Structure 1
Amino acid sequence: MPQPPPPESQRPARESLPAEQRHRESEFPGSFPDFQSQSFPFSLLTLQPLSGIIQITAGGSHTCALTAASEVYCWGSNRSGEAGIGGYSDLAAPVIPVPGLSGISAIAAGKAHTCALTGAGTVYCWGYNYFGQLGDGTTTSSPTPVQVSGLSNATAIAAGEDHTCALVIDGTVRCWGMNWYGQLGDGTLGYYSLPIQVMQSLPVKTYLPAVSR
């Protein structure tokens, strides 16, 4: 059974926290509650195995599973809404399927966002969106699924740390999100909140004049 948080006098100084935790707090300011100044009711939960799973995906600090019934369950870190069920409380176990989804055929998780592909070829994403990795034309994070704009006939999806890509039925690829290192593949740098097509970089041919010998 979980133990209540220690009193304020026993709270460790921030400087003594592990480096990873200090980094996470600075990266997502205000998203970590002050557990020492709050009291939480604790109750025993009845847990049962999650079954019927056909695919799993793991993000930076969260995990999701797709069931044979096309339901998506997520758990773990939810500070950016990457669990997809509304709100921003972390989940120590899957609670309910992500609402508003149907006909899901594949899932993919990034560092703090998650995406789902439908059998009809559309894609829905939720969670952290500072770099446009949800693909809805905004940089506003969402704790519930939003549809990727301007994308249809997708057949597969993949997610990186802060970007997402989809394979389209015609064999082309569309990507969106962070592009500081060129990961969207269109020859530019920056970030895009809408899907852009991956372009092949072809070598420039130089034609030299014929030389008489």
Structure 2
Amino acid sequence: GEKMVLVACGWRHTITVSSSGSLYTYGWSKYGQLGHGDFEDHLVPHKVEALKDSSTSQISGGWRHTMALTSDGKLYGWGWNKFGQVGAGDNADHCSPAQVNFPEEQKVAQVACGWRHTLAFTEKKNVFAWGRGTSGQLGHGEIVDRNTPVIIDALSPDGPGSKKLESSAAIPFAAKIWVSPSERYALVPDEKVAKPGDVSARGNGADASVPENDVKRMRVSS
């Protein structure tokens, strides 16, 4: 068999990627979260044929939905979609991968699933969120669901709520997002990565200019 290099777990399903970039899923599929075009459970890994011509570079599993990012920057989602967490622009469950559309200039670099919502981080350092939002977990300053990606202004350089720093072009932000299963926390770009010999760079927690009513900060050491 193929050597697996990536693995991610949903609530009752598992996603894996082989060294060749092939995507496999197995487990529970009542809502189509395995992506095989049906709602059948699988006890052993099955290749997702809909993405057989693509090389998968990242994966993430939500409670009952799945997200996969291909090496050419295309993002796909499938599974339970009651709150729009798949990001396909509707609220119907998807049993096959559906492409998630972003503005043309926003190429996705990373994806992370929460319980019923999803976050994406782009190469331009912007954070997008969609899915369940009635507890404010999308970070948009409102309590509504979204079924397509919407930029989080306060955490994104291209968002009107972000304070742009003079040094931001010279010192890149760290690029990591992570969502806890409880939907209560998200890890987003907050610190600057210093270049060798650069003593002026620092992560002081104020770089993203996040309104305290929208996002509560806590320091996480790397």
TM norm. shorter chain > 0.5: yes
Query: Match of 1:88?
Result: 39
Which of 146, 149, 167 matches 1:192?
A: 146
Are 1:172 and 2:126 an aligned pair?
yes
Which structure's CA Rg is the greater one? 1
Shift of 1:105: 0.6
Matched position secondary structure for 1:185: coil
Instruction: Name 2:10's counterpart in structure 1.
Output: 59
1:118 aligns with 70
Query: Pick from 181, 188, 202: which aligns with 2:211?
Result: 202
Assess, with a 3 A threshold, how the Cα gap between structure 1 residues 182 and 68 changes in structure 2: closer, same or farther: same
For the residues of structure 1 that align with 2:139 and 2:73, how far apart are their CA atoms?
A: 21
The residue number in structure 2 matching 1:7 is none
Hey, which bits of structure 1, 4+ residues long, moved more than 3 A? 201-204
| Aligned-residue offset at 1:97 | 3.0
Considering fraction of residues, name the structure with more helix: 1
In 2: Cα distance, 1:199 partner to 1:64 partner: 31
Match of 2:79 in 1: 127
Pairwise CA distance, 1:93: 1.2
Q: For each residue in 1:168-203, what CA deviation from the matched residue of structure 2 results, as whole angstroms up to 9, or x when unmatched?
A: 111110111111211111111121001011132436
Contact 1:59-1:109 at 8 Å conserved across structures: yes
2:89 maps to which of 134, 137, 148: 137
Match of 1:160 in 2: 114
Distance 2:48 2:212 in 1: 48
Contact 1:163 1:178 in 2 (8 A): yes
Size of the aligned set, in residue pairs, is: 155
1:9-20 mapped onto 2 (5 Å cutoff): none
The Cα of 1:95 is off from its aligned counterpart by: 2.7
Q: Which amino acid aligns with 1:194?
A: T
Q: Residue 48 of structure 2 aligns to which amino acid in structure 1? A: P
Match of 2:135 among 181, 203, 208: 181
RMSD: 1.7
SS where residue 51 of structure 2 aligns? coil
The one-letter amino acid of 1:171's match is K
Q: 5+ unaligned residues in a row in structure 1: which ranges? A: 1-49, 205-213
* Matched residue SS, 1:93: strand
How far has the Cα of 1:103 moved from its partner? 2.2
TM-score, normalised by the number of residues in structure 2: 0.66
Q: Taking structure 1 as reference, are residues 131 and 203 closer, same or farther at Cα in structure 2, changes over 3 Å only? A: closer
Which structure 2 residue ranges, 5 or more long, are not aligned? 155-209, 214-222
Deviates more, 1:143-152 or 1:156-165: 143-152
The verdict on how the C-alpha distance between 1:56 and 1:98 changes in structure 2, with shifts beyond 3 A counting, is: farther
Deviation at 1:98, TM superposition (A): 4.2
Bigger mean CA deviation after superposition, 110-119 or 88-97: 88-97
What code does the residue aligned with 2:124 have? D
Q: Does 1:68 align with 2:29?
A: no
